[in-house]
Structure 1
Amino acid sequence: MIRILTSALAASLLLAGAAQAQDAAPAYRNWSFSFGGATDNRSKDASKSQGDAFVWGEAEWESESGFFYVTPAFETIKASTGSDFEVALAAGIRPEVAGFDLDLKVEHKWQIDADPGADDDAWEFTADVKRSIGPASARLRLQHSPDSTGSTDAWTWVAVRGGWDFSDKLTATAEVGRREQDNSVDYTGWNAGFTYALTRNIEAEVRYHDTDADANNPQYADAVVAGLSFAF
């Protein structure tokens, strides 16, 4: 598994380097980096860390036009497979169609040091349709995995998010989504919160998450999550 991951990351770096050479752009201009942490690792309003704090990081290479990108990433988790660390490699395109911004991405995830025999990797496909008018923004997201990690088989997530920019620093967003899963819990999730740009490179976020699944399970219980991210 590690050999596969290393090869995939190397291939992405070679692709980025080749595209950079073709565009004749300085190497640093096509790369961006971000990292951070929060009091809970929430994905689709469910916790991936059983309610505990986590850290994450990612790098992104983007073509000169901004159309194509490649993203290696990592995050800490507490998975049913026994893994505490997940890495991912994604590639996608960002076209504009009829005034709407699209983001179409394919991603492969690996859970490191999972229990022997556990299903520790998965493919995910994401399609975002976004539109902003003045301070208002909206996003429709569709995600699907044909076979998730652990005992979960295929799942689909559909969510709608709305946002409002109160200033160039303060933004509020709210989202509601539905997740249908084979061999796992189907649920509706929602969240609402604020992000504030402390500086050009540092952003703070406070967000409330909840689901209609078992409230006694920390994976689905409601929580107020605070986080801090750094980008450069």
Structure 2
Amino acid sequence: MLRTLTTAAAAATALLISAAPAMAQDAAPAGDWAFAFGAGTDNRSKDASKSDGEAFVWGEAEWESASGLFYAGPGFQTIKSSSGSELELAVGAGVRPEVAGFDLDLNATFKYQVDAVDGYDDGAWEFTADVKRSIGPASGRLRLQHSPDGTGSTEAWTWVEARVGWDFTDRLKGTASIGRREQNNSLDYTGWNAGLTYALTSNIDADLRYHATDADVPGEQYADALVAGISFAF
């Protein structure tokens, strides 16, 4: 399993690295490229595990316009799906305007599970709207996400989440979130998480976070877990 994940991640990373320089060269006059990658002990999304409680790796590349308003780019993450897929690819685009002192982030992303079994619905659009505000060391964010048709047998779903944060120092930040997911033809649940992020350097962050849900089902997907992660940005 680990060898398969490593091979898949290496292939996806190579794809991003090989494609990025050409795209960055073409786009350089109008904006800049940024890159990030990382790993964690569990791939948590909306407080549920996408890797069945196992470790994962991820990477992304993002182009941002000179004004900072528009952005777009690809990404990947390793997963452990009921479809048989162990790699998810994504491509998305969005805008980050500022309105009345609030920072908005509106984006659309298409996600695709590689090598899913025949007949499995392996692709889905996700639309996200974030509203953020920071006052001194305090910060807050409201998030609304929706997909008109999820992967597998899941049909339309919606996720609503509130997050608060506090900067204890220039390096140490704490955040806590609570959200609710409503899904057609799948489980509805409430999830929450709380944790700390520490900037080891200007380019490396370490994160330790506890995730939990109210879903009373067997298995690792909705189980409570303490998750550690590290990310690199350049």
Q: TM-score, normalised by structure 2?
A: 0.88
Alignment partner, residue 45 of structure 1? 47
Give 1:18 shift: 5.7
Tell me the amino acid that sits aligned with residue 61 of structure 1: W
Alignment partner, residue 113 of structure 1? 115
1:89 to 88, 91, 98: 91
Alignment partner, residue 161 of structure 2? 159
Secondary structure of 1:219's aligned partner: coil
Partner Cα distance (1:150, 1:176) in 2: 25
Alignment partner, residue 137 of structure 2? 135
Tell me the amino acid that sits aligned with residue 82 of structure 1: G
| CA deviation profile, 1:132-156 (whole Å, cap 9, x unmatched) | 0000000000000000111111100
% identical aligned pairs = 69
Give 1:48 shift: 0.2
**2:211 is equivalent to residue 209 of structure 1:** yes
Contact kept? 1:215, 1:222, Cα under 8 Å:
no
Give 1:112 shift: 0.2
Partner Cα distance (2:131, 2:142) in 1: 5
Task: Provide structure 1 residue ranges, at least 5 long, that are not aligned to the other structure.
Answer: 1-5
Secondary structure of 1:110's aligned partner: strand
Contact kept? 1:41, 1:48, Cα under 8 Å:
yes
Secondary structure of 1:185's aligned partner: coil
Partner Cα distance (1:67, 1:17) in 2: 20
Partner Cα distance (2:103, 2:25) in 1: 26
Tell me the amino acid that sits aligned with residue 56 of structure 2: F
Partner Cα distance (1:176, 1:110) in 2: 27
Alignment partner, residue 187 of structure 1? 189
Alignment partner, residue 171 of structure 2? 169
Give 1:217 shift: 2.3
Question: How many positions carry a matched residue from both structures?
Answer: 215
Partner Cα distance (1:130, 1:41) in 2: 24
Give 1:198 shift: 0.5
**2:200 is equivalent to residue 226 of structure 1:** no
- Root-mean-square deviation (CA, aligned residues, Å) is 1.5
Alignment partner, residue 34 of structure 1? 36
Partner Cα distance (2:99, 2:196) in 1: 29
Q: TM-score, normalised by structure 1?
A: 0.89
| CA deviation profile, 1:171-214 (whole Å, cap 9, x unmatched) | 00000000000010000000000000001111100000000002
Tell me the amino acid that sits aligned with residue 89 of structure 1: V
Task: Provide structure 2 residue ranges, at least 5 long, that are not aligned to the other structure.
Answer: 1-14
Alignment partner, residue 12 of structure 2? none
2:151 to 149, 152, 169: 149
Partner Cα distance (2:114, 2:52) in 1: 17
Tell me the amino acid that sits aligned with residue 43 of structure 1: S
Secondary structure of 1:142's aligned partner: strand
Tell me the amino acid that sits aligned with residue 161 of structure 1: R
